[in-house]
Amino acid sequence: MTKETITLTVNGQTVETRAEPRELLIHVLREQLEITGPHIGCETSHCGACTVDIDGRSVKSCTMFAIQAQGAEITTIEGLGNPDKLHVLQEKFKEHHGLQCGFCTPGMITRAHRLLKENPNPTEEEVRMGIAGNLCRCTGYQNIVKSIMAAAAELNQPETAA
Amino acid sequence: MIPGRFEYHQPDSLAAAVGLLSELGEDARVIAGGHSLIPMMKLRLAMPEHLVDLKAIDTLKHINVADGVVRIGAMTTQAELIGSAELQLAAPIVKETSLQIADPQIRYQGTIGGNVANGDPGNDMPALMQALDASFTLHGPGGARDVKARDFYEAAYFTARDDLEILTEVSFPTCTGGYAYEKQKRKIGDYATAAAAVLLTKAADGSCSHAAIALTNLADTPVFCDAASTHLMQSGVSADSIAHAVQSCISDIEPVEDNRGPAEFKKHAAAIILKRSLETAWSRA
């Protein structure tokens, strides 16, 4: 089968790549576009380490063919913040020890980002249900939930003049 | 895990999709949300030569409520079912069930059409559709036909849908009486060890004017419990009639041992969730 041209907007940049229809989005992101924030954990749609945001939905990018994302707007952890300017969620994960080995963290934060967009003021229960598709093998959920709650609280604070 | 090679098609109308299926024949598979099919393709348990993706067909994405009937396009996602205020009023059991399917990421992708058409006994929507007495609309080269959810499932992964047909819509009467979808699972994201969809309507005189019970993952198809439903309508809802109905349902199921436990355990779990779901549904009736 021949490769097809796929156009994506990833983290605000329009990119064009070529892939066979059978190539999964996670592989195209990591291997062709060198966006290695989304991780390959289980490859079986369970762990959520490969979570990216596609047109406003959290998606496990190991369970979508890249060609299905044709024309889509994709945000990965790289698009949320960078070492010089961390996203609030990244700040709070740092502050509240929301990561241990860090492998699940890009997926956790990308998922939490969408969760807080949809539900800016979640209860702890809603946070737990909202990240139910992301597994942490260090089992550090307590602090992950704390970090997300803290980020929600900060994002909900009224803007104050500097 | 790399799936086998295939050619990808994204028709933008139902007619084009039906035409493609007829042309490609048994080498083609329809893909909706893909969360059953893609994992099977990664394991190479499914190796279609052609994938016909329904995602660009806008006429398959709708939730309409009119004249006491709910119509849902096959490509409506579980997240959209959960988010629909109209559906919550017309049939609140749909949201209760949808929220128990897999996890948030999967619910953004998973569709009602894929869930009911796949024929996986672990899917939650088929039993719900049987309880609601839903109809499935199938479009094929010869036109459209409707099949009742209660007649659709033949065996695991075998349904009344012909290979050349596409399931396009589910429809069912609005349902505002008591309801419950109770699911016992090992963890979030798992299929049911046992699950029950229950609808109970209380008449003005306190009797049970409508009852429907259907079960998930307790046989190789969903199980509609006709005798138990009839019993509740005839004898009313009481602790005794619930106990009788639960026993009747248990005699209808044929669970098999797997990594969720032996058959006897599944019957035990089924009895518990059945009692719970009947009590919850009646308390809401």
The residues spanned by each domain of chain A are 4-79, 88-155
Task: Identify whether residues B49 and B67 lie together within a single domain.
Answer: no
Quick check: B51 pLDDT over 90?
Answer: yes
Question: Residue B1 domain-assigned?
Answer: no
The domain that holds B31 is classified in CATH as 3.30.43.10
Question: Residue B46 domain-assigned?
Answer: yes
**Which chain B residue has its CA at the smallest distance from A49's CA?**
B105
Distance CA A121, CA B197 (A): 31
Question: Residue B256 domain-assigned?
Answer: yes
User: What's the pLDDT tens digit per position in A68-117?
Assistant: 999 999 999 999 999 999 999 999 999 999 999 999 999 999 999 999 99
pLDDT band with cut points at 50, 70 and 90 for residue B46: very high
CB B12: neighbour CB atoms within 10 A?
Answer: 12
Question: Residue B68 domain-assigned?
Answer: yes
Domain count, chain B: 3
Number of A to B CB contacts under 8 A, please give it: 80
Question: Residue B2 domain-assigned?
Answer: no
Task: Identify whether residues B12 and B71 lie together within a single domain.
Answer: no
Which of these CATH numbers, 3.40.50.720, 3.40.50.2020, 3.10.20.30, 3.40.1190.20, describes A4-79?
A: 3.10.20.30
B284 CB-side CA count, 13 A: 18
How high is the pLDDT of residue B108? Answer: 98
Give the domain range for residue B20. Answer: 7-53
Residue B6, SS3 per DSSP: coil
How high is the pLDDT of residue A162? Answer: 47
Residue contact A59–B105, C-beta within 8 A? yes
Angle between helices A105-118 and A88-95 (to 10 degrees): 120
Average pLDDT over residues B80-107: 98
Quick check: A158 pLDDT over 90?
Answer: no
Task: Identify whether residues B150 and B199 lie together within a single domain.
Answer: no
Average pLDDT over residues B162-187: 96
Which of these CATH numbers, 1.10.3720.10, 1.10.150.120, 3.30.499.10, 2.40.10.10, describes A88-155?
A: 1.10.150.120
- pLDDT > 70 in chain A, percent: 97
| Ramachandran class of A48: left when φ > 0, alpha when ψ lies in -120 to 50, beta otherwise | left
Residue contact A45–B39, C-beta within 8 A? yes
Quick check: B1 pLDDT over 80?
Answer: yes
**Which chain A residue has its CA at the smallest distance from B44's CA?**
A22
Structure tokens given for A5:
């041209």
Question: Residue B211 domain-assigned?
Answer: yes
Is residue B208 within 8 A of residue B174, CB to CB? The reply is no
Positive or negative: CA dihedral A92, A95, A99, A103: positive
The domain that holds B169 is classified in CATH as 3.30.465.10
Could you tell me the pTM of the whole model?
0.96
Pick B188's closest partner by Cβ from A23, A57, A132.
A132
User: What's the pLDDT tens digit per position in A31-62?
Assistant: 999 999 999 999 999 999 999 999 999 999 99
On average, the pLDDT of chain B sits at 97
Task: Identify whether residues B152 and B203 lie together within a single domain.
Answer: no
| Ramachandran class of A72: left when φ > 0, alpha when ψ lies in -120 to 50, beta otherwise | beta
**Which chain A residue has its CA at the smallest distance from B53's CA?**
A68
How high is the pLDDT of residue B176? Answer: 86
Task: Identify whether residues B137 and B112 lie together within a single domain.
Answer: yes
CB A87: neighbour CB atoms within 10 A?
Answer: 18
Distance CA A22, CA B52 (A): 13
Average pLDDT over residues A129-136: 97
Amino acid at A98: G
Pick A63's closest partner by Cβ from B6, B39, B55.
B39
Task: Identify whether residues B45 and B143 lie together within a single domain.
Answer: no
Question: Residue B86 domain-assigned?
Answer: yes
How high is the pLDDT of residue A153? Answer: 97
**Shortest CA gap A130–chain B (Å):** 6
Average pLDDT over residues B189-215: 97
On average, the pLDDT of chain A sits at 96
**Shortest CA gap A77–chain B (Å):** 16
Task: Identify whether residues B12 and B91 lie together within a single domain.
Answer: no
How high is the pLDDT of residue B37? Answer: 97
B2 touches chain A (CB under 8 A): yes
**Shortest CA gap A74–chain B (Å):** 14
Domain boundary among B139, B173, B207: B173
Pick B106's closest partner by Cβ from A23, A45, A130.
A45
**Shortest CA gap A60–chain B (Å):** 6
Q: How far apart are the first and last CA of chain B?
A: 48
B45 touches chain A (CB under 8 A): no
Task: Identify whether residues B249 and B267 lie together within a single domain.
Answer: yes
Distance CA B51, CA A21 (A): 9
User: What's the pLDDT tens digit per position in B234-280?
Assistant: 999 999 999 999 999 999 999 999 999 999 999 999 999 999 999 99
Task: Identify whether residues B162 and B245 lie together within a single domain.
Answer: no
Pick B6's closest partner by Cβ from A22, A68, A70.
A22
Residue contact B2–A22, C-beta within 8 A? yes
Task: Identify whether residues B27 and B110 lie together within a single domain.
Answer: no
Task: Identify whether residues B188 and B131 lie together within a single domain.
Answer: no
Residue contact B38–A46, C-beta within 8 A? no
Pick A133's closest partner by Cβ from B5, B51, B106.
B106
Quick check: A161 pLDDT over 60?
Answer: no
Structure tokens given for B190:
């798992």
Name residue A5's beta-bridge partners.
A18
pLDDT band with cut points at 50, 70 and 90 for residue A1: low
Residues of B in contact with A64 (CB under 8 A): 34, 38, 109
Q: Let me know the angle formed at the C-alpha of B105 by A87 and B57, rounded to the nearest 5 degrees.
A: 115
Residues of B in contact with A115 (CB under 8 A): 104
Question: Residue B235 domain-assigned?
Answer: yes
User: What's the pLDDT tens digit per position in B136-161?
Assistant: 999 999 999 999 999 999 999 999 99
How high is the pLDDT of residue B66? Answer: 98
Alpha helices in B75-145 (DSSP H): 78-83, 85-90, 93-98, 104-109, 112-117, 125-131
Domain boundary among B146, B173, B200: B173
The domain that holds B210 is classified in CATH as 3.30.390.50
Residues of B in contact with A24 (CB under 8 A): 2-3, 38, 42
Task: Identify whether residues B46 and B74 lie together within a single domain.
Answer: no
